[in-house]
Amino acid sequence: MLVTEELTRKVADLARLELTDQEVTTFSAQMQKTLGYIEQLTAVNTDGIEPQYQPFEMSTPLREDVVVPRSLDSKGKPKVLEHAPEVLYDGFKVPPIL
């Protein structure tokens, strides 16, 4: 694909960029090089190759889910709420956000 100064000006207009004549010339050459690299990549045969999302094969270690009963105080309330500034319905009371 040939990148002309007219195309560069159109792309800049779509991106709401104001470019000087010097910038248009510079960016036209840079876009031409970038598209040339992309054309090289499209020439590579990738049949049968799965997309790769990370450069390394990663595995996430899994563990069993274990349900741990809550620690309750003498009143039957959760101990974690003992130091809460305010409690509402056996939970932390937080300021409303809406």
Here the CATH number for the domain that contains residue 34 is 1.10.20
Residue 17 has pLDDT above 80, yes or no: yes
How many separate domains does the chain show? Answer: 1
Contact between 5 and 24 (Cβ < 8 Å)? yes
In a domain, 65, yes or no: no
Residue 70 has pLDDT above 90, yes or no: no
In a domain, 80, yes or no: no
Contact between 24 and 9 (Cβ < 8 Å)? yes
pLDDT digits (tens, 9 = 90+) for 28-55: 999 999 999 999 988 899 899 888 888 8
Residue 27's domain comprises 5-42
pLDDT number for residue 72: 85
In a domain, 36, yes or no: yes
In a domain, 94, yes or no: no
Contact between 36 and 43 (Cβ < 8 Å)? no
